[in-house]
Amino acid sequence: MSTHATQSLDARGLNCPLPILRTKKALSSMGTGETLAITSTDPGSLKDMQAFCKQTGHELVSSSTNQGEFEFLIRRA
């Protein structure tokens, strides 16, 4: 499967729980195997995205930090 994002979500400036809620909403409109790239500035999103993927079965393909921004790539289950 490709690790190229099918869709992207800009969650910069949003605080918990909004990045997760927006991620959940975006993933619900996507097909199985499609990928969502998320950019967030909320430090809590590091643990939140890991927990969200574990609970929902989606795959956290990658996560990284870049100059105060947190980037995630999630593949929809």
CATH number of this structure's domain 7-75, picked from the four choices 3.30.110.40, 1.10.3720.10, 3.40.50.720, 1.10.510.10: 3.30.110.40
pLDDT of residue 3: 66
Contact in structure between 7 and 39 (CB atoms under 8 Å): no
* Dihedral, 13, 48, 25, 53 alpha carbons, nearest 10: 150
1 has pLDDT over 80: no
2 has pLDDT over 90: no
Known catalytic membership, residue 53: no
**pLDDT tens per residue across span 9-68:** 999 999 999 999 999 999 999 999 999 999 999 999 999 999 999 999 999 999 999 999
The residue annotated as part of the active site, out of 7, 12, 14, 16, is 16
pTM over 0.85: yes
